[in-house]
Amino acid sequence: MRFNIRQKGLYRFCLSLCVGLLAYLLSHFLFWEEEVQAAQPNNHQEISGSVVALDKETTTQQDQALFQYNSGQYQEAIKLWSQALKQTSDRKVLATLYTNLGSAYRQVGSLGQAIQAWDEAIKIYKSSQGKESNRLLAQVLTEQAQAYNALGQSRTAVPLLEEAIEKASKYQDLNTLAAANGALGNAYLALGEFDAAITSNKKSLEFSTNLKNSGFIATALNNLGNVYSNRYQRYALQANSVKLEGDDKEVVRLNGLMQQDFTFSKQAYEQSIDISKTIGGIQQAKAMLNLARFLEQSEPSSQNTVNKYRSEAMALLDAVPDSRSKAYALINLAESLSAEDSQNIKVQNLEKAIATSRRLRDQRAESFALTTLGAIYEKMGNLGKAMELTQQAQFAAQQVYATDSLYRAQAQAGRIYNAQGEREAAITSYRGAIASLQSIRGDIAVASKDLQFDLRDSVEPVYRELMALLLEDGDKEKESKSGNQKSKISEVLQVSELLQLNELQNFFGDECVQVARNSKSSAEIAYSNKDTAFIHSVVLDQKTHMLLRLSNGNLKSYPVAISAEELAKNIDRLRYTLEDISTDEYLAEAQKVYDLLIRPMADDLAQANPKTLVFVSDGVLRNIPMAALHDGKQFLIEKYAVATTLGLNLTPNNTPIARDARAAIFGLSVEIPPFAPLPNVKFETEGLEKILGGKRFLDKDFTLANLQKQIDKNDYPIIHLATHGKFGADTESTFLQLYDQRVSLNEFESVLRRSKKPIDLLTLSACQTAAGDSRATLGLAGVALRAGVQSTLASLWFVNDADTVPLIQNFYKQIQKPGVNKAEALRQAQLKIISDANGHPAIWSPFVLVGNWQ
């Protein structure tokens, strides 16, 4: 079943609304988590069962430091403990001092210094022997891991917590077990591993219940609510995506899972609120704010309840003493209030957060609060006040190396400068923001892997806003013939590639793509090819820019006066009509998109006369085959070979395949529910075996174990897989169907990596990418890139297997010919189908070549 364009537009709007709202909240996701502290600063530590008496002077300093710490004067405590470090060489005392210093640094938001202090304590505890040193080691490992969680470095936190749990279990230290399992649950949640997060948080709840500690129990329940809430949102995103594809059965399944997690999340938050009533204060306020946020997202009819919880939380926060948690809760409370709520209430809460942070000397929290308050004044039109607050936020973030806060303030300064007409200052601020983002890109990749919302909401706009300014300046310099247009466009291409890289890393949840990047010379080699022209696109809110780069160094921008929303509608309509083999409605749509994107540069292309066009497409433009664009007389593929890549520095540049290359050919012809049989796969694979040689494995021989074996042992340069595959909005909804199981994207990547030599060509002849999400093709292109595969031939939508056979076989015949590269081989195969009376683009156009086109 397919949905018409109007329905698609509605679903796109609903999905965008859902994504935007959740992105806004999840960009500060870690602030809503709660921690159970494994230990508190103390005056002495018991090592190997004995109490260490400190010398008189050090003891006095410790007493003073503890008093200052417990009074909330953390900077004074840091100063005293730092002095005490210089006055003793006793390793047991040093371990105590470093442990306490770490706690104090954490309280003022200096998480990097806290981690360093705990590192020193950990070294001492690991070199000591005995039950007590191991017990204390488990506590410090837990504290350090919680700091890594707060920094978004959850992959680093997990092994630390596993070690802490192992040691605490040995001595049945229930306090540490409750804390470490809770922190492990938070780490798994940040990594998008929901089942593991639920298991760990349930263990934390069990230990907390055994301790009969109401505070611990409330925290564990609140964290469980967070997991179910986030998984609910994951299911919502997936349900909207499959709804666009018309998969009603899967929509029903996902809606059922959503309802289940809605119930679990609501119950956990409500139980946390009830239990924390005996404690009151910050824990109760956090649980109320979390439940209010969740109900606002998932149950719009409960707005009165939402308002009630927020009002009660506000009153509770007014009454509790200063703490880091209070500061962040006030920030999140202000951010959660809708535009209709009084700006005065938002401002008041943020001013309280700033005052609290300053009394605590927590410059990290202060920087977030200042940036948020600056954004409110920016929206109110008070740009002077907004800039003053934003500059204060930058200074505070720089003092404690809070880069995740700094980039937000730098980007905000860029927006304000631009609104004030100071374009050069705006560009400089945005450049600083991107430099900050690049320094923490690994943390960003991991921090929101589950839904990639942080990237879409608070990271991606930074890159796009800088590109918009540079392109506007470039257009003005073109008109004035100043000669600086080329340098501005060159910088845009660099920024665009950085954004592509961040999108890939965020999609996969790690930095592995960075390893596969080529040196700058790869791009230079590609650009120097006189037979190739490169067309980059940059989709902005109100305008799209097509950028043409030729081998002679000419670099030119062609602005397209169309909003991102309108462009998306055109692309959706083109994709929909191209897939509908029963009509010729695609022709008008293909001409419309050609006129928008290609016609402005057509004369320049004709003069340069390249043989191949390589597209580096942005956003929704990844969803359509550029080969199918039509100039009114012929398709683009009839004039040029067409390929696509994520960016030239992300494109392998190895030697093309040998003409006698062998292939490992795998096919699935039988029905594997819910997928229908592919009876023509047998003929497809038989033909390829005759054309290429190598070995063929069909149905029962198409298992994960055999695929691993063949790639591991035989170094095939060509891997051909004729089976159902789906590339969705995230790694969880992306898979290939083998005879014995579905293989996830990450599993498939690990299989490809087993090849001792780079795989030159990977063909997926029966896959499809989700039409409703511009990120779907990231999985298709990214998995090959990460595994070092040179080129991938795949389909954007499913094509009847009978129609696939001639195109695929002709493609492989062409690449056997001397002087014919992969892009030209695909072109010739597609032209043969076009020349047929029944050569509808639904058959030939979905096949795209990604990566190295040589």
| More reliable by pLDDT, 139 or 512 | 139
Neighbours of 94 (CB within 10 A): 17
SS3 798: coil
What pLDDT was estimated at residue 449?
38
Is a pLDDT exceeding 50 seen at residue 751? yes
Query: Poorest-confidence range of 179-183, 350-354, 818-822, 826-830?
Result: 818-822
What pLDDT was estimated at residue 453?
38
SS3 449: coil
Are residue 695 and residue 583 in the same domain, yes or no? no
- Whether the Cβ atoms of residue 96 and residue 84 lie closer than 8 Å to each other: no
- Beta partners for 555? 549
Are residue 628 and residue 681 in the same domain, yes or no? no
CA distance 56 to 495: 59
pLDDT bucket at 38, cuts 50 / 70 / 90: low
Are residue 599 and residue 740 in the same domain, yes or no? no
**Helices and strands: H and E segment counts in the chain:** 35, 15
The HSE-up count of residue 677 (CA atoms within 13 Å, CB side) is 8
Q: Which of 482, 498, 516 is the last residue of a domain?
A: 516
Q: What CATH number does the domain containing 697 carry?
A: 3.40.50.1460
Is a pLDDT exceeding 60 seen at residue 44? no
Are residue 13 and residue 67 in the same domain, yes or no? no
CA distance 90 to 83: 14
Are residue 181 and residue 222 in the same domain, yes or no? no
DSSP code of 557? E
Q: What CATH number does the domain containing 98 carry?
A: 1.25.40.10
For 410, phi then psi, to 5°, come to -65, -45
Residue 416 inside a domain? The answer is no
Are residue 55 and residue 129 in the same domain, yes or no? yes
Q: Which of 650, 672, 696 is the last residue of a domain?
A: 650
Query: Poorest-confidence range of 463-472, 682-691, 752-761?
Result: 752-761
| More reliable by pLDDT, 788 or 704 | 704
Residue 123 inside a domain? The answer is yes
pLDDT bucket at 28, cuts 50 / 70 / 90: very low
- Whether the Cβ atoms of residue 118 and residue 157 lie closer than 8 Å to each other: no
pLDDT bucket at 10, cuts 50 / 70 / 90: very low
For 755, phi then psi, to 5°, come to -65, 130
Are residue 731 and residue 597 in the same domain, yes or no? no
Mean pLDDT of 55-59: 56
The HSE-up count of residue 383 (CA atoms within 13 Å, CB side) is 10
Q: What CATH number does the domain containing 554 carry?
A: 3.30.420
pLDDT digits (tens, 9 = 90+) for 435-475: 998 887 665 544 433 333 345 567 889 999 999 999 987 66
- What is the distance between the terminal CA atoms of the chain, rounded to a whole angstrom? 38
CA distance 830 to 843: 9
Is a pLDDT exceeding 90 seen at residue 651? no
CA distance 249 to 785: 33
For 319, phi then psi, to 5°, come to -90, -20
Q: Cis omega before residue 652 (within 30°)? A: no
Most confident of the following: 190-199, 402-411, 430-439, 629-638: 629-638
Is a pLDDT exceeding 90 seen at residue 786? no
Mean pLDDT of 177-201: 94
| More reliable by pLDDT, 507 or 13 | 507
Express as a percent the part of the chain with pLDDT over 70: 84
CA distance 241 to 768: 13
CA distance 487 to 255: 50
Mean pLDDT of 164-185: 95
**Concatenated DSSP letters of 363-429:** HHHHHHHHHHHHHHHHHHT-HHHHHHHHHHHHHHHHHTT-HHHHHHHHHHHHHHHHHTT-HHHHHHH
Q: Which helix (H) or strand (E) holds 499?
A: helix 485-508
What pLDDT was estimated at residue 478?
62
Are residue 630 and residue 722 in the same domain, yes or no? no
Residue 505 inside a domain? The answer is yes
pLDDT digits (tens, 9 = 90+) for 353-388: 999 999 988 898 999 999 999 999 999 999 999 999
Is a pLDDT exceeding 50 seen at residue 536? yes
What pLDDT was estimated at residue 618?
92
Is a pLDDT exceeding 70 seen at residue 591? yes
Is a pLDDT exceeding 50 seen at residue 599? yes
pLDDT bucket at 237, cuts 50 / 70 / 90: confident
Is a pLDDT exceeding 90 seen at residue 775? no
Residue 6 inside a domain? The answer is yes
Largest CA distance in the chain: 98
Residue 202 inside a domain? The answer is no
Are residue 556 and residue 638 in the same domain, yes or no? yes
Residue 499 inside a domain? The answer is yes
Are residue 217 and residue 181 in the same domain, yes or no? no
Query: Poorest-confidence range of 371-375, 616-620, 655-659, 776-780?
Result: 655-659
Most confident of the following: 114-123, 341-350, 485-494, 759-768: 114-123
- Whether the Cβ atoms of residue 247 and residue 273 lie closer than 8 Å to each other: no
Is a pLDDT exceeding 90 seen at residue 13? no
pLDDT bucket at 406, cuts 50 / 70 / 90: very high
CA distance 21 to 490: 34
CA distance 306 to 287: 12
Expressed as residue numbers, the domain containing 429 is: 425-516
- Whether the Cβ atoms of residue 29 and residue 449 lie closer than 8 Å to each other: no
**Concatenated DSSP letters of 723-737:** EEEEE-SSGGG-EEE
What pLDDT was estimated at residue 511?
57
What pLDDT was estimated at residue 11?
36
- Whether the Cβ atoms of residue 77 and residue 102 lie closer than 8 Å to each other: no
What pLDDT was estimated at residue 218?
94
What pLDDT was estimated at residue 347?
94
Q: Sign of dihedral through CA atoms 345, 346, 351, 352? A: positive
Which residue is associated with the tokens 């009376």?
837
CA distance 576 to 589: 10
**Concatenated DSSP letters of 689-703:** HHHH-SEEEEGGG--
The HSE-up count of residue 664 (CA atoms within 13 Å, CB side) is 21
What pLDDT was estimated at residue 247?
74
Mean pLDDT of 624-647: 94
Give me 187's structure tokens: 């780490």
Residue 524 inside a domain? The answer is yes
Is a pLDDT exceeding 70 seen at residue 51? no
- Whether the Cβ atoms of residue 386 and residue 378 lie closer than 8 Å to each other: yes
Radius of gyration of the chain from its Cα atoms, rounded to whole angstroms:
29
| More reliable by pLDDT, 445 or 493 | 493
- Whether the Cβ atoms of residue 336 and residue 350 lie closer than 8 Å to each other: no
Are residue 575 and residue 715 in the same domain, yes or no? no
Domain count along the chain: 5
Residue 389 inside a domain? The answer is no
Are residue 756 and residue 827 in the same domain, yes or no? yes
